[in-house]
Each structure stands twice: as structure tokens, then as C-alpha cells.
Amino acid sequence: ERQKHIRNFSIIAHIDHGKSTLADRILEMTDTVSERDMQAQVLDDMPLERERGITIKLNAVELTYHAKNGEDFIFHLIDTPGHVDFTYEVSRSLAACEGALLLVDASQGVQAQTLANTYLALDDDLEIVPIINKVDLPSAQPDMVRQELEDMIGLDGDDALLASAKTGLGVENILEHIVTDIPAPSGDVAAPLKALIFDSVYDAYRGVVLNVRVHDGSVKVGDHIQLMSNGKTFEVTEVGVMSPKAVKRDALMAGDVGYITAAIKTIQDTRVGDTVTSADNPAAEPLKGYRQIQPMVYSGVFPVDNAKFGDLRDALEKLQLNDASLEFEPENSQALGFGFRVGFLGLLHMDVVQERLEREFNLDLIMTAPSVDYHIVKTDGSEETIDNPAAMPDASEIKEIQEPYVKAEIMVPNDYVGPVMELCQRKRGEFVTMDYLDKYRVNIIYHMPLSEIIYDFFDDLKSSTKGYASLDYDVIGYRASDLVKMDILLNGDPVDALSTIVHRDFAYERGRGVVSQLKETIPRQLFDVPIQAALGTKVIARSTVKAYRKDVTARIHTGDPDRRAKLLEKQKRGKKRMKAVGSVDVPQEAFMSLLKVK
Ligand code: GDP
Ligand code: MG
């Protein structure tokens, strides 16, 4: 029957090991994308993905493969991101599949996210097809990688397929192994509909588009569907598959991966991980769904123009449909007005969300420095969790502040053990253990404050190991630390959106750093602007932005008209991201000063 000829699989790997390139080759060799439409990393269709050369979103495509045995197979391929911030996208893709192609770069070997993603696939009982990619590189060491697959993952290294996603070498063989090694789906077509929503996106014309994996039953246009988490019912207006553009179908059946639209206009009704069933013949139990994901960092997001608060809410709700890890609630800042406290999975995620909000929803935003959340034990015995430094209670009410700690695993060649340990120590890390992975590489484990990891740790790690280290981390709990709230005063007034929580030992250094960064970023005004960093009432660092002299502006206004127009244009653009805080104009960069302090 039909399901026997379906294969659902994801491609998983460490970042840059070639997932998107392999997806390209597969689409090409199965004639899914015409030569005319073919471009590198064709599934990375978001402008942001193309510019940065990274995959941010999972992407599902249907294609047809004519196997060597003469039969046709329907493949659903889900390309996934590799960066640690987007692991949630990976875990959701995997729940829609029976198998995973595990790519390992032949010159780099098994890296931190290779392991992390493999464990995710094993958790979901997926069949893993190991592939050693980039064998065309002169530096390729396939035998070493085979050994690593055995030693570090417990797969049979001899089973690994050799391939070059770039040249196409070995890709035909991969396609055959997808047919023979990955199990066909085994849902019950006759049972009531059960489809898992693994992603969704808002479309102005069609309403919410649900991307689903149908586990049991079938769904067609005109059917009445029900969302099992809230009982809401809708009439199906369209079903189809992505190939890679949307292609309408008469029906989706057990084993299929496709989309459903049902004129769903209220965004709050749909939730990734929910089960779609039939309203007329509902299933008794929903599918397992996904675990709720916890944000790692929080930042305040404010519209530059206060009147755009409603637009921002709207944008966040729509983006949340397509980014199930996004969390937000309203926040009110004295300095910045009404906005939202938004939770992110990491700084790259935060960056991506800011850019998507600005581009896809045409907003100008101010974002405050990221912060982790803290557990506060008060002197009166009560406890609270805060994700905003501005909300920190008065020091006299605090008995203890606890911060999130992670277990960090760093894989690195032997030669770099020294620099890595030095760096970890500097970031308040506590050495746990070190294992030799093979003759050349070690896995170093540290317990570290999350707040030290999320900022520039990864960049520092890369630069102190010439790019050879890879990192994975998991939150392991909260620990008490000697932390203090540092306030920043502009013109004598504390600016709540600039408050941060720092370790007492680093407070002076950070204070001086932030103050000097602010001095660089805050433009001269008509008057002197004193900048101070303070712990409570005690000022620990200060500086001043001197008032500009009249003749400086005069010079701008003379000069040739072309140059003047350009300058005005530049000023206008600068203005957009400028926020009046009290009497001082503060640009967006100023709020990120903390991140720039070395
Ligand atoms: P992803 O992050 O796993 O999706 O990786 P990409 O597919 O974006 O590939 C990362 C880089 O590796 C790109 O510059 C690709 O051109 C390159 N690449 C991918 N596969 C191969 C390969 O088989 N051989 C070589 N030499 N380069 C490859
Ligand atoms: Mg990619």
C-alpha cells in the first residue's frame, strides 16, 4: 500500500557540515527543483538565511525518487539548523520523521552538535544513516571519522556512507540507503485523523498555515478539523505539500508531511505540538507533542515610536506562530515606555528575532541588553524569579541571589587544552572533568554561569582555539553567587533599561567598561551629559559626553549640497533608532554596551 513507498527523514549535523548542500543535491538529482530555479542552499529561503549563510528554520519538502528496483518513492526531507540556539527546530523536525541522515564533515570529525543532534534523534527512536561528507577535501580523514562514529556515538563506522554533497559523489547511494534503511511510516489510514503540527506560519490571505505530519487517518478539503488542545473547529480550505513551493493536493494521508489551511484567523488558537483531529470523528488521545522549551535569555523589546506598541504585539504574535520558542509578556520601562520582555534561546536567536521583526513587520525597535533569569531569596523568606534587572528588589531585602548554571562540554584538539581552561576559569567556570576522545581530541567539561556563556564566550573560545573548538551546553540548575545590580545614570537619572546584574568581583571593571562604551555611543547633545555606574548609592565609574560646539553643526550645513543631503539622510536613519531618555537622546547601540565590554 501507499505508506510502504513513503520515507520521512531529516538531515542533522554540526553547523557547516553540509546539510543544506546535501539537500540541494537531493533536490537536483530527483528533479524537484528545475535547473533554472536551482541556487545554493535553495531551502534557506528566508532572506536572513541567505545573507548569513545559515539555516534558521526547518524546511520540509516532498520529492519523488525512482529507486534502482524500479519503484517510485515519496520522500519528505526536512532540512534543519545546526546552531545550538535552534535545537528546538531540530527536535520538532525529528518528531515528524522515521529516520535521520547524520552528516559528519570528513575533515572536522564529530563535533559538539553532532553529538547533541544524534542524541535527539535517538530519543525519538529514529533510524540513523551515518554519512561522512566532504570527502573531496584534501584534508578529509574518513577513517578517523569512522573510528569517531564508533567510539563517540556507538554506531558501526563501517556502515558510514562516503559522500561529497558539493560534487554529488555518493549521493545516489545515499538515496538508495534512504529506501532500504529508513522504515516506512506505519500509521492507520482508517483510524480517526491524528496530525502533529510541527510548524506554522501566518499568511495574510489564507490565515494560519499548519505544517503537519499526518500519523493516522486522512484529511481533505471540506473536512471539519479540530485542534485537540482547545477544541476549536475549522473547515479545511486547502491541503498540500511543499515541493519546494506549495502544491495543492486532494488529501493528506497517514505518513504524509504537508500543510493544511482552514481560514484560521485567530493566531492564539494554534500551537506547535498540538494534534489536529477530525471534528466529526475525533481521536481519543492526542499525540505526544513537544516539551515546553525554556528561554535562556531575556531582553526588553520596545518600539522606537511608542504609538507602535500595538503593531509590535501583533508582530510578536505572528512571529510566534513561526517561531514556537518565542515567549513574551508586556513590560513597562520608565526610560523606554511600553514594550515586551521577550525570552530567547540565545543571542543568535535574539538577533534573528530582532531582524525578522524589523524586516517582516517593518518596525524600528530598541532592544535592551540580554539578561538571564535569577532566583531571589528574600530576607523575609519569600522567593521570586526575575528576568529583568530593573525588577531586582532593594539590596536590603535580598538574602541570596541564585543564577542559572550550565554544564558546558567543549571538544577541542589536545594542543588547545591550556587556552580553553584559562578562558573557562576567567568566566567563573568550575572544572569538572576531561576525557580523551581519541589520540588528538579531548572533551572538557566545566560548570559555568549561563550569563558568562551567552555573551561572547563562544567568540572567545573560537579565537583562542583557531576555530577548532565546538561547544554544547545544558542548564543544570541554580546556584547562589555574589551578584549585585549595577545601575547606570545619565544626567543624574538612573535609566532602568540600562541596569544589569553583575558579579561583585567584576563590578568595577564592567562599570568602567560600560561607562566608556556609553561615552562612545551617546552622541553629543546641547549640554554636558554625565554618565555614572553605581552600586546602590555608590558611584563606581563616571565619564561625561561633552556638549557639542556650535561651529560643528554649522559646518554640516555649509559644504556641497550632495554631501549635505547624505549627511542629513544618515542623521535621519540614525534618528530612527534613537530614543529620548529624559532629556538625552540615546541610540540603540547604547543599550547593548554591556555586550561590547571586554
Ligand atoms: P549546513 O550548515 O550544515 O547547512 O552546511 P552548508 O550546506 O551550508 O555547507 C557549509 C559549507 O560547506 C558551504 O560552504 C558548502 O559549500 C560547503 N560544503 C558542503 N558540502 C561540501 C562538500 O561535500 N565538499 C566541500 N568541499 N564543501 C562542502
Ligand atoms: Mg544549513
Comparing 153 with 192, which gets the higher pLDDT? 192
| pLDDT category of residue 285 using cuts at 50, 70 and 90 | very high
Task: State what percent of residues in the chain have pLDDT above 70.
Answer: 94
Asked whether the predicted pLDDT for residue 410 surpasses 90, the reply is yes
Give the mean model confidence (pLDDT) for residues 142-157: 92
Relative to the alpha carbon of 18, which ligand is closest? Answer: 1
Q: Whose CA is nearest to atom 28 of ligand 1?
A: 166
Query: Is 129 known to sit in a ligand binding site?
Result: no
What spacing in Å lies between the alpha carbon of 199 and ligand 2's midpoint?
18
What is the number of the ligand 1 atom nearest to the C-alpha of 54? 2
Q: What is the pLDDT of residue 194?
A: 96
End-to-end CA distance of the chain: 62
What spacing in Å lies between the alpha carbon of 419 and ligand 2's midpoint?
30
What spacing in Å lies between the alpha carbon of 41 and ligand 2's midpoint?
7
Comparing 109 with 437, which gets the higher pLDDT? 109
What spacing in Å lies between the alpha carbon of 503 and ligand 1's midpoint?
41
pLDDT tens figures, 322-350: 888 889 999 999 889 999 999 998 888 99
Q: CA 570 → CA 38, 473, 576, 589, distances in Å?
A: 37, 41, 10, 16
pLDDT tens figures, 473-523: 889 999 999 999 999 999 999 999 999 999 999 999 999 999 999 999 898
What is the number of the ligand 1 atom nearest to the C-alpha of 163? 23
Asked whether the predicted pLDDT for residue 290 surpasses 80, the reply is no
Q: What is the pLDDT of residue 353?
A: 93
Relative to the alpha carbon of 102, which ligand is closest? Answer: 1
Q: What is the DSSP string of 314-334?
A: HHHHHHHHH-TT-EEEEEEET
Cis peptide before 130 (omega within 30 of 0): no
Give backbone dihedrals phi and psi of 117, rounded to 5 degrees, phi first: -70, -35
Q: What is the pLDDT of residue 555?
A: 52
Asked whether the predicted pLDDT for residue 361 surpasses 60, the reply is yes
Q: Tell me the β-bridge partners of 371.
A: 298
ipTM > 0.90 for the complex: yes
Asked whether the predicted pLDDT for residue 133 surpasses 70, the reply is yes
Question: Which of 19, 21, 59 most suits a substitution to test ligand 1, by most atoms within 8 Å of the C-beta?
Answer: 21
Query: Is 136 known to sit in a ligand binding site?
Result: yes
Query: Is 18 known to sit in a ligand binding site?
Result: yes
DSSP structure class, residue 523: P
Relative to the alpha carbon of 24, which ligand is closest? Answer: 1
Q: What is the pLDDT of residue 267?
A: 78
User: 520608565: which residue's cell?
Assistant: 334
- How many C-beta atoms surround the C-beta of residue 280 within 10 A? 12
Give the mean model confidence (pLDDT) for residues 212-239: 95
Its pTM stands at 0.82
Q: Whose CA is nearest to atom 2 of ligand 1?
A: 16
The angle subtended at Cα 331 by Cα 330 and Cα 333, nearest 5°, is 155
What spacing in Å lies between the alpha carbon of 229 and ligand 2's midpoint?
32
Relative to the alpha carbon of 55, which ligand is closest? Answer: 2
Q: What is the pLDDT of residue 572?
A: 58
Q: What is the pLDDT of residue 487?
A: 95
pLDDT tens figures, 526-566: 889 999 999 999 999 999 999 876 555 455 555 566 666 66
What spacing in Å lies between the alpha carbon of 21 and ligand 1's midpoint?
6
What is the number of the ligand 1 atom nearest to the C-alpha of 137? 26
Q: Tell me the β-bridge partners of 76.
A: 8, 62
Joined grid coordinates for residue 181 = 534503511
Q: What is the pLDDT of residue 580?
A: 84
Q: Give the chain's length.
A: 598
Joined grid coordinates for residue 218 = 486522512
Asked whether the predicted pLDDT for residue 137 surpasses 90, the reply is yes
What spacing in Å lies between the alpha carbon of 131 and ligand 2's midpoint?
16
What is the number of the ligand 1 atom nearest to the C-alpha of 24? 7
Query: Which residues have a Cβ under 8 Å from the Cβ of 402 and sit 6 or more positions away?
Result: 374, 375, 376, 377, 478, 479, 480, 481
Query: Is 133 known to sit in a ligand binding site?
Result: yes
What spacing in Å lies between the alpha carbon of 41 and ligand 1's midpoint?
9
Asked whether the predicted pLDDT for residue 263 surpasses 80, the reply is yes
Query: Which residues have a Cβ under 8 Å from the Cβ of 194 and sit 6 or more positions away?
Result: 187, 214, 215, 216, 217, 275, 276, 277, 283, 286, 287
C-alpha span between 461 and 408 (Å, rounded): 12
Give the mean model confidence (pLDDT) for residues 383-389: 94
Comparing 150 with 55, which gets the higher pLDDT? 150
Comparing 561 with 176, which gets the higher pLDDT? 176
Query: Is 21 known to sit in a ligand binding site?
Result: yes
What is the number of the ligand 1 atom nearest to the C-alpha of 134? 23
Asked whether the predicted pLDDT for residue 575 surpasses 70, the reply is no
User: 537531493: which residue's cell?
Assistant: 26
**Can you give the C-alpha Rg of the chain in angstroms?**
27
Q: Whose CA is nearest to atom 14 of ligand 1?
A: 16
Query: Is 20 known to sit in a ligand binding site?
Result: yes
Relative to the alpha carbon of 164, which ligand is closest? Answer: 1
What spacing in Å lies between the alpha carbon of 113 and ligand 2's midpoint?
13
* Nearest Cα residue to 376 out of 361, 351, 396: 396
Q: What is the pLDDT of residue 272?
A: 85
Query: Is 342 known to sit in a ligand binding site?
Result: no
pLDDT tens figures, 421-477: 999 999 999 999 999 887 788 999 999 999 998 877 988 998 899 888 989 888 999
Asked whether the predicted pLDDT for residue 74 surpasses 80, the reply is yes
Q: What is the pLDDT of residue 574?
A: 53
Q: Which residues line ligand 1 (CB under 6 A)?
A: 13, 15-21, 41, 55, 82, 133-134, 136-137, 164-166
Query: Which helix (H) or strand (E) covers residue 421, if one does?
Result: helix 417-426
* Nearest Cα residue to 394 out of 499, 530, 509, 542: 499
Query: Is 90 known to sit in a ligand binding site?
Result: no
What is the number of the ligand 1 atom nearest to the C-alpha of 165? 23
What spacing in Å lies between the alpha carbon of 454 and ligand 1's midpoint?
26
Give the mean model confidence (pLDDT) for residues 265-274: 84
Query: Is 432 known to sit in a ligand binding site?
Result: no
C-alpha span between 115 and 351 (Å, rounded): 25
What is the number of the ligand 1 atom nearest to the C-alpha of 82? 2
Asked whether the predicted pLDDT for residue 576 surpasses 70, the reply is no
Query: Is 154 known to sit in a ligand binding site?
Result: no
Cβ–Cβ under 8 Å, residues 253 and 218: yes
The angle subtended at Cα 305 by Cα 300 and Cα 310, nearest 5°, is 75
Q: Whose CA is nearest to atom 24 of ligand 1?
A: 134
